[in-house]
Amino acid sequence: MTSNTSETSRPLREESKATLFGTALVLVMGGLVIAAGAILTVATVMLGDTALQLP
């Protein structure tokens, strides 16, 4: 019985590590999107109306 419990707990530990890695990856990607939006907003303010004109 003890060996079955330890076997079932091992995949849970690996899954929790994968879950934490996935969560960290999603947070980093979200931070990059927010940073890109902030950069584009600052560039639009600095360039004025010319930033939104297409060539």
- Enclosing H/E stretch for 11: helix 2-47
**pLDDT for the residue 9:** 53
| Close Cβ partners of 44 (under 8 Å, ≥ 6 residues apart) | 51, 52
Other C-beta atoms within 10 Å of 52: how many? 8
Q: Return the pLDDT at 46.
A: 84
Closest CA to 27 of 39, 35, 17: 35
**Domain assignments of the chain as residue spans, ordered by start:** 22-55
pLDDT at 21: 92
Q: Report CA torsion sign: 19, 23, 25, 26.
A: positive
What is the per-residue pLDDT across 1-54, written as a single tens digit (0 to 9) for each? 555 555 555 555 566 888 999 999 999 999 999 999 999 888 888 887 676 676
pTM here? Answer: 0.58
- pLDDT score, position 17: 87
